[in-house]
């Protein structure tokens, strides 16, 4: 319905515009034609009166000159010029008589034609061959001149009448132009009125309902779903209003359901956070607290920082905030010590990024896990190991000295069997002392004794001085140690004895697990702008998948492994590399080569 009304409105507007344009064009065209006709008539009348005056003057001049040359003053000589002038004068008079329509002008023109006829009659002896005969009297020159003067006077009067008529017609034309302008203005006003009425109808039909609908949509954007539109017509706007009301009702229902769902979800989240055994803290990108659970609230209140992070926790959070990297430590020695009342509590912080969800901005989450018991057990275990190792090492050193004295036969000669038994006991004693030394070193590293003497070292120097024991072990298995040197590597920042120990641990494992008559490769390459990677590759059976996640754990040994060891070498190596702010890892596939690597920062 509204479509047909809009179509009708558009057609009416077009009709008004076209009608107004055609009317204006017709008025302009008619006035232009009339003005052109008026100008043409005026020009023709002026030219005709001028022609009459011109030919009359020619005839008068000729008559006077001819009369002066004759004794009687009569004109009888026939002249072709005079014949042409008289013919032109007659034609001009007839043309002027044919064009005159005004009565006053017609009377003057009749008088003018009478004078022209008199002049032509007087000039007949000079123009007519019969009149030029000897027995015919000639034209009187003085009378011709008088008639010519009368013709000039009457011609001027005709011209004056013509000018008066033209002035009157111009005035009438001006009045008609004013009338036409008035009618055009009237048509324009009528068209504007019609357009205003059409616009008012169109505004009531479409614009006002659409404006109301737009305001209602903005209300929906502001989550005001209670607004409904009145339905007054059964046209497109009415159907659109009904559809909007149905949509608003559905949105109201969904909004209420969503509100209930959000309330339930918040209640569940709050219950979950309350029941969560660890402290949970949520912060924005500015470090402001957004949400905490009761456990975290209790910890922060006990530390005297109820509305902010404590200094020990703020430092790793600021680092994660500036770098954008999550902080997810796994080792117990990375736990933070807090004194709550008279207790010492260790918390392992885990800082991670919370992505943006719907209209919520991204945030940061912190979980504080109480690892005090695990830390105490670990410290107790390492203390027991250190104490036992230290207590065993002293008597074991004495046993070692006694066995060495026996082997040197300082106390007397030994039989062959006795010497073999003492030598075996001495070797076992040496292995036991080496194991105790490893345990003591691991205990010192775990307790925080990681002071490093960092120097700028050439990467190739870390592979140059390999221990003789490792070279001997490689020779015994016919294993070739291949060092791929690269002299263009930058210097690295490292504690040489500690890194030499890491190289010895990794190389010892490679020699143990690689088959006889194979090759172990040592190599160093530049890794990005900040690190140099050291790689030790063997051709052994590889690391089984079930052991790959635990291979760096303390005392871990693969089940069924025949090779001797304590399971501390890789753990100690990881402690040393992490103390250098480096990285350690491996790449291995079953029954293929295995490559252990560690990265050291460039000096």
The model's pLDDT over 488-501, given as tens digits with 9 standing for 90+, comes to 889 999 988 889 88
Average pLDDT, stretch 431-441? Answer: 68
Percent of the chain with pLDDT over 90: 7
pTM > 0.85: no
Given CATH 3.40.190.120, say whether it is the number of domain 2-194: no
| Structural element, H or E, at residue 50 | helix 2-68
Which residues on neighbouring strands pair with residue 369, listed in sequence order?
348
Q: Which residue has the higher pLDDT, 369 or 548?
A: 369
Which among 494, 482, 504, 360 has a CA at the least distance from the CA of 437?
504
| CATH fold for domain 276-370 | Beta-Lactamase (3.30.450)
Domain limits of the chain?
2-194, 223-273, 276-370, 377-446, 455-601
CB 506 within 8 Å of CB 522: no
Tokens of 527: 């890794």
Q: Which residues contact 508 (CB under 8 A, 6 or more apart)?
A: 470, 473, 569
Question: Which residue's structure tokens are 């001006």?
Answer: 174
Pairing type for strands 492-494 and 455-457 reads antiparallel
Average pLDDT, stretch 172-194? Answer: 77
Average pLDDT, stretch 265-274? Answer: 76
**Highest mean pLDDT of the ranges 27-31, 412-416, 560-564:** 412-416
Which among 122, 121, 105 has a CA at the least distance from the CA of 48?
105
Is the pLDDT at 563 greater than 50? The verdict is yes
The model's pLDDT over 333-356, given as tens digits with 9 standing for 90+, comes to 788 888 887 788 889 999 999 888
Give the pLDDT score at 32: 74
Is the pLDDT at 599 greater than 90? The verdict is yes
Given CATH 3.30.565.10, say whether it is the number of domain 455-601: yes
Phi, psi values for residue 538, rounded to 5°: -125, 175
What confidence category does residue 134 fall into, taking pLDDT thresholds of 50, 70 and 90? very low
Q: Which residue has the higher pLDDT, 137 or 601?
A: 601
Q: Which residues contact 53 (CB under 8 A, 6 or more apart)?
A: 151, 152, 155
Cα-based distances in Å from 214 to 200, 211, 223, 232: 19, 5, 14, 17
The model's pLDDT over 155-174, given as tens digits with 9 standing for 90+, comes to 777 777 777 777 777 777 77
Give the pLDDT score at 130: 45
Pairing type for strands 519-527 and 480-484 reads parallel
Is the pLDDT at 55 greater than 70? The verdict is yes
Mean pLDDT of the residues in the chain: 77
Kindly report the number of other CB atoms within 10 A of residue 212's CB atom: 16
The model's pLDDT over 419-429, given as tens digits with 9 standing for 90+, comes to 788 788 877 77
Average pLDDT, stretch 295-314? Answer: 88
Asked if the domains at 2-194 and 455-601 fall in one CATH topology, the answer is no
The model's pLDDT over 390-410, given as tens digits with 9 standing for 90+, comes to 667 667 777 777 777 777 777
């Amino acid at each position: 319905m509204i479509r047909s009304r809009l179509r009708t409105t558009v057609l009416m507007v077009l009709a008004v515009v076209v009608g107004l344009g055609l009317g204006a064009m017709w008025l302009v065209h008619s006035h232009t034609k009339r003005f052109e006709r008026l100008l043409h008539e005026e020009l023709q009348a002026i030219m005709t009166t001028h022609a009459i005056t011109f030919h009359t003057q020619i005839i008068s001049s000729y008559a006077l000159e001819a009369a002066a040359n004759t004794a009687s003053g009569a004109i009888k000589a026939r002249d072709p010029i005079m014949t042409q002038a008289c013919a032109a004068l007659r034609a001009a008079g007839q043309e002027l008589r044919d064009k005159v329509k005004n009565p006053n002008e017609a009377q003057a023109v009749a008088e003018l034609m009478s004078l022209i006829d008199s002049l032509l009659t007087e000039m007949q002896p000079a123009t007519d061959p019969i009149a030029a005969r000897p027995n015919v009297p000639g034209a009187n020159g003085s009378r011709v001149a008088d008639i010519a003067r009368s013709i000039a006077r009457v011609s001027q009067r005709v011209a004056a009448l013509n000018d008066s008529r033209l002035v009157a017609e111009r005035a009438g034309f001006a009045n008609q132009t004013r009338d036409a302008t008035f009618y055009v203005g009237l048509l324009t006003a009528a068209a504007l009125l019609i357009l205003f009425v059409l616009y008012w109808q169109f505004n009531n039909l479409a614009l006002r309902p659409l404006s109301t609908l737009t305001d209602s949509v903005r209300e929906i954007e502001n989550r005001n779903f209670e607004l409904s539109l009145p339905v007054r017509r059964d046209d497109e706007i009415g159907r659109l209003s009904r559809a909007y009301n149905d949509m608003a009702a559905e949105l109201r229902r969904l909004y209420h359901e969503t509100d209930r769902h959000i309330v339930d979800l918040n209640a569940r989240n709050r219950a979950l956070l309350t029941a969560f055994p660890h402290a949970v803290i949520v912060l924005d990108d500015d470090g402001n607290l957004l949400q905490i659970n009761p456990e975290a609230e209790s910890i922060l209140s006990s530390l005297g920082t109820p509305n902010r992070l404590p200094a020990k926790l703020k430092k790793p959070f600021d680092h994660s905030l500036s770098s954008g990297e999550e902080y997810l430590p796994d080792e117990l020695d990375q736990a933070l010590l807090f004194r709550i009342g008279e207790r010492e509590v260790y918390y392992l912080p885990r800082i991670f990024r919370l992505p943006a969800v719907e209209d919520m901005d991204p945030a940061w989450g912190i979980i504080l896990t109480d690892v005090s018991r695990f830390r105490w057990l670990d410290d107790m275990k390492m203390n027991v190991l250190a104490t036992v190792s230290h207590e065993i090492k002293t008597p074991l050193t004495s046993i070692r000295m006694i066995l060495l004295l026996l082997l040197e036969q300082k106390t007397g000669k030994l039989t062959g069997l006795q010497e073999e038994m003492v030598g075996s006991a001495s070797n076992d004693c040496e292995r036991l002392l080496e194991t105790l030394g490893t345990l003591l070193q691991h205990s010192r590293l775990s307790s925080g004794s990681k002071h490093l003497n960092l120097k700028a070292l050439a990467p190739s120097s870390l592979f140059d001085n390999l221990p003789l024991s490792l070279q001997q072990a490689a020779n015994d298995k016919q294993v070739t140690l291949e060092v791929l040197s690269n002299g263009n590597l930058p210097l690295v920042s490292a504690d040489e004895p500690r890194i030499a120990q890491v190289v010895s641990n990794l190389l010892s494992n490679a020699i143990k697990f690689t088959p006889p008559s194979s090759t172990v490769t040592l190599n160093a390459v530049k890794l990005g702008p900040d690190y140099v990677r050291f790689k030790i590759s063997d051709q052994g059976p590889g690391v089984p998948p079930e052991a790959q996640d635990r291979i760096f754990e303390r005392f871990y040994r693969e089940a069924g492994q025949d090779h001797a060891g304590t399971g501390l070498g890789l753990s100690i190596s990881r402690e040393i590399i992490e103390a250098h702010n480096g990285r350690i890892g491996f790449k291995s596939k079953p029954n293929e080569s295995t490559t252990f690597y560690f990265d050291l920062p460039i000096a």
